[in-house]
Amino acid sequence: MIYNPDNPVGVLFARSFESAAGPLGVEPIIAHIHGLADIERAKAAAAAQPSGGIFVALDVTIQAFMEQTVATVAQHRLPAVYPERAFVLSGGLVYYGTDRIELYRGAASYVDRILRGVKPGDLPFQLPTKYELVINLQTAKALGLTIPSKLLFTADEVIE
């Protein structure tokens, strides 16, 4: 997993990642990222691991280097799960996360209610209810991976 430790959300992702990795039999390796050189070092380290892969946490630092991150991952022939669908549209392997359109619709309804006089503290807390899976088959083929047909069938979008 790569993330910027200066981002409090990244720290929460790292804790969750470490908690989930053990029961799945995955050895969690976390790399702190502050710039492009750190991203390149982390990718090289992951590539040196047998069956290595990358989980990219949502982070403005990594997002700023989106094209370079995807290119470095491809150069090291690593499978990676990305925090934004834009990474997959740029050649990344997989995105799994919240459907942003649904989040924006929900936010818009809250703004509407607040503008009509509802106190923000009176509005219920909501969690995302719709997630999307985007798979880039071109990238999978370049990595020599076969994506199970069941997974392709459940994907919201498959890039061929």
pLDDT digits (tens, 9 = 90+) for 14-53: 899 899 988 988 888 889 999 888 988 888 888 888 888 8
| Residue located via tokens 């370049």 | 142
**Domain extent for 11:** 2-103+131-159
Token readout for 151 is 């997974």
pLDDT greater than 90 at residue 73: no
* Radius of gyration over every alpha carbon of the chain, rounded to an integer in angstroms: 18
What confidence score (pLDDT) does residue 9 get?
86
Domain total of the chain: 1
In a domain, 16, yes or no: yes
Which CATH number goes with the domain that contains 96?
3.40.50.2300
pLDDT digits (tens, 9 = 90+) for 100-151: 888 899 899 999 999 999 999 999 988 888 899 999 999 999 999 999 999 9
Determine the length of the chain. 160
Q: Does 110 fall in a domain? A: no
Q: Is the pLDDT of residue 152 over 90?
A: yes
Q: Is residue 126 part of a domain?
A: no
The answer to whether residue 61 sits within a structural domain is yes
In a domain? residue 144? yes
Residue 120 lies in a domain: no
What is the value of pTM for the model shown?
A: 0.84
Establish if 149 belongs to a structural domain.
Answer: yes
How far apart are the C-alpha atoms of 110 and 159, rounded to whole Å? 34
